[in-house]
Amino acid sequence: MGIEQDIKQPKFQNDYEKAAVNILLTSSWLYNINASRLKPYGITPEQFNVLRILRGSYPQKMMLADITCRMIDKSSNATRLVEKLKQKGFVKREICDNNRRQVDISITDKGLAVLKKIDTEEADWLKVLKGITKPEAQELNRILDKLRA
């Protein structure tokens, strides 16, 4: 089914407008699928993103600003996300020994364990992309990277 049927809009002003709306619609669709798969673990896609960032730097600790600049959604409130993850026991916040104004954030064993469980479902999650081939996925990545360049 094409975007015209999905949003019941038969015409677009041009192919660029159609592409922009298509990207936004697809992003929302993927976000909702991702949110559904993470719900059983009690985390949101934004919290999952923070956990993945912290796992990527593990065992190094990170400052909030470093986490924020790596996030997919730059408008997310990283302070609030980290606090929610701390309440769930997935991350730790500690005052830096060398700089009392610096707060270091790290992923806990519990956070690593939940990511490990989620990782076991990675293949199921990626099945949503089964409609395109590997070369098409590579081309899509190239085009999306070009758009943001």
Burial of 13 (0-12, 13-18, 19+ CB in 10 A): exposed
Q: What's the total number of domains in the chain?
A: 1
List of E strands, 77-120: 91-95, 103-107
| pLDDT value, residue 1 | 65
> 67-94 pLDDT, tens per residue?
999 999 887 788 899 999 999 999 999 8
Q: What is the pLDDT of residues 105-125, one digit of tens each?
A: 999 999 999 999 999 998 888
Mean of all residue pLDDT scores within the chain: 92
CATH number, domain containing residue 48: 1.10.10.10
Q: How much of the chain exceeds pLDDT 90, in percent?
A: 72
Domain ranges, residue 113: 3-148
